[in-house]
Amino acid sequence: MTDKKKHKHEEEINETPAMAEEMSIEDERVKANFDALQSQLAEAEAKVAEYKDGWARSQAEFQNYKKRIERDNELTYASMKGDIIKKVLPALDDLERALQNRPVDDAWANGIELIARKLQNLLESENVKRIEANGAAFDPIFHEAVTHEPSDEIESGHVIAVVQNGYMLGERVIRPALVRVAQ
């Protein structure tokens, strides 16, 4: 071996324990950095899962909120519609009473009958139905008793006659029928 090569070889041999120690320290630093990065990654993944869960909950709450608002709007609309119809019903009642006592072949009575039919058709188009009560069993949900009368013809607890028609909007009673009930 030449002197230069021999000298270099000796340096490598002499520096190897120092280098090994330096590499060991470097390995420990790399391992510490790696462990710290893994810890940070685990924390970041936990936060991602937490944020994702929070986001999913927020989405579900928003969907429920939208459905609740739509349902509330529908109920408000139905309630307002029912209130307006309740205000029209007395006029229809008056027309029906006028028609019960109408003169035969009178032109104005035919006009009143036409108006009453138009109002009834309008109510039917808005899903308003008359509560049929004559002869039916008394039901306080659909009927309001005006009188209780003895009757030989009608069974006790059944409607004798309707004093004022009741109406339903869909499944909701907007005005119960005023009825006379057999005792």
Average pLDDT, the chain: 87
Topology of domain 129-183, CATH: Nucleotide Exchange Factor Grpe; Chain A, domain 2 (2.30.22)
Would you state the pLDDT for residue 98?
A: 86
Q: What is the pLDDT of residue 16?
A: 66
What is the helix, strand, coil percentage profile of the chain, to 5? 65, 20, 20
Q: Please tell me the distance from the alpha carbon of residue 21 to that of residue 11, in angstroms, as a whole number.
A: 16
pLDDT of residue 107: 78
Residue-level pLDDT at 72:
96
Answer yes or no: is pLDDT of 4 > 70: no
Farthest CA pair distance, the chain: 144
pLDDT category, 100, cuts 50, 70, 90? confident
pTM above the 0.85 mark?
Answer: no
9-58 pLDDT tens trace:
555 545 566 666 777 888 888 888 999 999 999 999 999 999 999 999 99
Q: Which two tokens stand for residue 97?
A: 């009473």
